[in-house]
Structure 1
Amino acid sequence: MGVLGASTAPIAVGAVDAKAVERPRIHTCTEWGARPPNGTITVLNRKPTYIVVHHTAGGNSSDLSLAHAYQISRSIQNFHVDGRGWVDSGQQLTNSRGGHVTEGRHRSVEILDGGTRHVQGANVGNHNSEVIGIENEGLYSTVDVTPQLWTSLVRLVAYIAQSYGISPDMIRGHRDFNATECPGQVLYQRLPELISAVRAMLGTAPVSPAGARLSWPLLKPGEQSDKVLAAQHLLRARGVDLRADGVFGDATFAAVARLATENGVAYEPCYASRTADESGYLGVTTWPLLVRTVQAGDSGEAAKAARVLMSARGQRFATVDTPTWQRLLA
């Protein structure tokens, strides 16, 4: 289920007895032995709008030491510079399973502490000028984060929010912007808890009612559901020769990947330390290409998709527009 939308409109902080959050210990690039950047670090003369949570999708190591955190940071930088050709690490900050925070892209700590400008990273496709990203070591699709990582994440996000004046309501997961598994289903489902914890540290009140925002769901290979069946009908409505069986198999993956490519949708894999093909995942960037308004008397594949979803929820078929599609798919 999508729990957080990807609205581009900033939300003002609703301060109530605002508290000063002490800056957490952040180990700089110099401390962990980073390579010099392979080019110029871009510093934007504006604040980021969103704080984005990622996972590295690497191993869930039992080594909680600072030395291990340094090694993870070096590994990510090497992969991003040598494997992807980026100027430096893509994320601004990294949080280890031991709760050790390290600087990712050079100058990120210096600029964060200033609170008025933003080091542009490379961690959210088509939105890097808007976001400050935190890579959390590990893979959280089916398991939870360590207590150390969680405590560190809350404190770090609270400090970022305070430094930039960002409302906790603007905390997002990577999948709220790109069709990716990141930050893993388990960690993604804890984002409302993270928002509440950061809000408590800052002493701020909610800006909008809980659960008021919805995002598009993420569908990936192996899933079998009414949502997959609806997606297949919607693909068929676009002329794709695809069997509508409710199973997200290779043909559905390939069809979504083609849809994304043909429409210029950025493919931004979530993995910080290894590659994975998520190009055919159906998510926030690709659902809007599929849905269309259907009327109560319509027939055809798009209407079949709407009927599948409404029937599964015990609803009678009626007009379905984009907001209704989002509610049906939530």
Structure 2
Amino acid sequence: MSREIEMAVSRRALLRGGFTVTAMGVLGTSTAPLAFGEVGARAVDRPRIHTCSEWGARPPNGTITVENHKPTYIVVHHTAGGNSSDTSLAHAYQISRGIQNFHMDGRGWIDSGQQLTNSRGGHITEGRHRSVEILDGGTRHVQGANVGNHNSEVIGIENEGLYSTVDVPVALWNSLVQLVAYIAQSYGISPDMIRGHRDFNATECPGQVLYERLPELIAAVRAALGTSPASPAAPLRSWPLLKPGEQSDKVLAAQHLLRARGVAVKADGVFGDATFAAVARLAAENGVAYEPCYASRSADESGFVGVTTWPLLVRTVRAGDTGEAAQAARVLMSARGERFATVDTPTWQRLLA
């Protein structure tokens, strides 16, 4: 049976990103089992990854930490920089040097924060030193600096560009699928453990468009590996992201919840400067890690309401309660045509989904 027929169940997802499947198979043809405990695994080829020495990286100014365990999650980022039309390898090298310079000189980090970088031309480069060497070993991973409070458990891929309103180029998508499939195979990570940066920190990264394609990426990686769905892990995508300029019942609820904490912010359902400043103060006062779309000098996201800030805002309210938190719950339940009742954290998550 041809590989085209064998992979037909996931072909629609692959073709949307322009991923090309030939009779020989872009990702390899062997049928060696993987370490997923999943049915039908096949081996994928290691993509071409250009090392730090190839793109002219500066030496790190500190010791590279190598975690003595595998990463739990594969995290997708975008650089939040320009969507360049230059798809050359030379440009990919330039992007890698620019990111490293910014991270070392602008952030004060010892090296590039991400383990791997994927250009709009589909060229993959090593980010932090030793990342490729350790990845190929399949038992440990280099600690990066790309997901606040979670760097010991993630391996991050920085995708060149800004994907808030536009889609990723075909070449970038193809290389992302191949790279993620190889990482998943090398570490025995289920594709269900692919995440976006915003699943851990209150940031728009990897951009709304690319973030919405993560289920498609999971399906494409599964098709490449030849695996069937396993029991999915508990999803991290449990809180919405709110940012300046939005007008909604969710924004109004967030404002009421801020007021419940004694913050003097107007409850008008409009995410303006005052709401942004209030959220930023709340996050800072509670030690919430702020990790922006960090590979470029992107806009300040410290006042976004997301996965790290909603838990600071919500509280249990019960039928008959008054006050700002109860009003927030009523706003959300009214929008859904529901009668006000007890609202605990799981209920808040459901109402805000």
Q: Which amino acid aligns with 1:67?
A: A
Q: Report what 2:246 is aligned to.
A: 223
Q: What CA distance in whole angstroms lies between the structure 2 residues aligned with 1:206 and 1:215?
A: 21
Q: Report what 2:77 is aligned to.
A: 54
Relative to 1, partners in 2 of residues 1:282 and 1:213: Cα closer, same or farther, differing over 3 Å? Answer: closer
Q: Report what 1:19 is aligned to.
A: 42
Give aligned-pair identity as a percent: 88
Output aligned runs, 1:174-189, within 5 Å: 174-189=197-212
Q: What CA distance in whole angstroms lies between the structure 2 residues aligned with 1:268 and 1:276?
A: 12
Q: Report what 2:52 is aligned to.
A: 29
Q: Report what 2:137 is aligned to.
A: 114
Q: Report what 2:255 is aligned to.
A: 232
Output aligned runs, 1:256-295, within 5 Å: 256-295=279-318
- The answer on whether the counterparts of 1:95 and 1:137 sit within 8 Å (CA) in structure 2 is yes
What's the CA shift string for 1:38-90, capped at 9, x where partnerless? 11111111100000000000000001111110100010001001111111000
**TM-score where L is the length of structure 2:** 0.88
Q: Over alpha carbons, which structure has the higher Rg?
A: 2
Q: What CA distance in whole angstroms lies between the structure 2 residues aligned with 1:134 and 1:286?
A: 24
Question: Would you say 1:324 and 2:347 are equivalent positions?
Answer: yes
Q: What CA distance in whole angstroms lies between the structure 1 residues aligned with 2:345 and 2:230?
A: 24
Deviation at 1:13, TM superposition (A): 3.5
Question: Would you say 1:308 and 2:331 are equivalent positions?
Answer: yes
Q: Report what 2:147 is aligned to.
A: 124
- Structure 2, unmatched stretches of 5+, are 1-34
Q: Report what 1:245 is aligned to.
A: 268
Deviation at 1:209, TM superposition (A): 6.0
Deviation at 1:207, TM superposition (A): 2.4
- Give the RMSD, CA atoms, in angstroms: 1.4
Deviation at 1:203, TM superposition (A): 1.9
Q: Which amino acid aligns with 1:250?
A: D
Question: Would you say 1:40 and 2:63 are equivalent positions?
Answer: yes
Q: Which amino acid aligns with 2:172?
A: L
The DSSP-based 3-state class of the residue aligned with 1:15 is coil
Displaced runs of 4+ in structure 1, greater than 4 A? Answer: 209-213
Relative to 1, partners in 2 of residues 1:210 and 1:163: Cα closer, same or farther, differing over 3 Å? Answer: closer
Deviation at 1:248, TM superposition (A): 0.3
Deviation at 1:201, TM superposition (A): 1.3
How many residues are treated as equivalent by the alignment?
319
Q: Report what 2:277 is aligned to.
A: 254
Deviation at 1:14, TM superposition (A): 4.6
Q: What CA distance in whole angstroms lies between the structure 2 residues aligned with 1:61 and 1:181?
A: 20
Q: Which amino acid aligns with 1:146?
A: P
Deviation at 1:205, TM superposition (A): 2.1
Deviation at 1:315, TM superposition (A): 1.4
What's the CA shift string for 1:114-135, capped at 9, x where partnerless? 0001100000001000000000
The DSSP-based 3-state class of the residue aligned with 1:295 is coil
What's the CA shift string for 1:99-124, capped at 9, x where partnerless? 00000000000000000011000000
Q: What CA distance in whole angstroms lies between the structure 2 residues aligned with 1:14 and 1:305?
A: 44
Bigger drift between 210-219 and 188-197 goes to: 210-219
Relative to 1, partners in 2 of residues 1:14 and 1:245: Cα closer, same or farther, differing over 3 Å? Answer: farther
Greater RCO, CA 8 A, separation 6+: 1
Relative to 1, partners in 2 of residues 1:13 and 1:305: Cα closer, same or farther, differing over 3 Å? Answer: farther
- The answer on whether the counterparts of 1:14 and 1:204 sit within 8 Å (CA) in structure 2 is no
Q: Report what 1:153 is aligned to.
A: 176
- Structure 1, unmatched stretches of 5+, are 1-11
Q: Report what 2:161 is aligned to.
A: 138
